[in-house]
Amino acid sequence: MTYSRTWAATASSTATEARVREVMKNVFADITGLATRGFITHERAAKWRDDLTWMLSDEVISSFELQLEAPGRSACGFHYAVSDDGSLQEASRSGGMQLYAFPDGTEAELVVSFRHSLSDEVTAEIKARGWTSSAEYLKGEKTRDRAFSCDGYGLVRNRVGDW
């Protein structure tokens, strides 16, 4: 199941489809790690990649989280914040998620935060892609982990929850 939540819009952006696709290489490596560990299916990983690429390219979301729920543990995950003001120049390598620390039976979910004032066309596309259920981000302090950028556009990955 996929979830969504609404958030505020930004004024200007350095987002281009080429920059988003470059940054998404690292994000998709993270998502593929979830599938490799069996926390999601490879089909779901591909859908998340496609949906996130569209949402980021069309500037539909301001952030998203990969949330992990392990049996007997409180949820934790990774919060990815969009940086589209040209200031992000850090280009970390993907990985480093320490997924081996989670037991079999762990499940992953993707939660996105939509920007306000979406057009009717964008809203229809969101619904067509199945992003209609309400959800909330994880509670807790965020700890900067890595950043992925291309020409000033990118995502800052933070750990959130009890690690």
**In this predicted structure, what is the pLDDT of residue 83?**
95
| Dihedral pair phi/psi, residue 115, rounded to 5° | -80, 155
Could you tell me the residue ranges of all domains in the chain?
3-161
**In this predicted structure, what is the pLDDT of residue 117?**
85
The H or E element spanning position 122 is helix 120-128
**In this predicted structure, what is the pLDDT of residue 12?**
73
- CA-closest candidate to residue 68, choices 138, 130, 2: 138
Tens-digit pLDDT string for the chain (163 aa): 444 444 444 457 788 999 999 999 999 999 999 999 999 999 999 999 999 999 999 999 999 999 999 999 999 999 999 999 989 998 888 889 999 999 999 999 999 999 888 999 999 999 999 998 889 999 999 999 999 999 999 999 999 998 8
Q: Give me the architecture of the 3-161 domain, per CATH.
A: 2-Layer Sandwich (3.30)
pTM: 0.89
Tokens 């995950």 identify what position?
Answer: 77
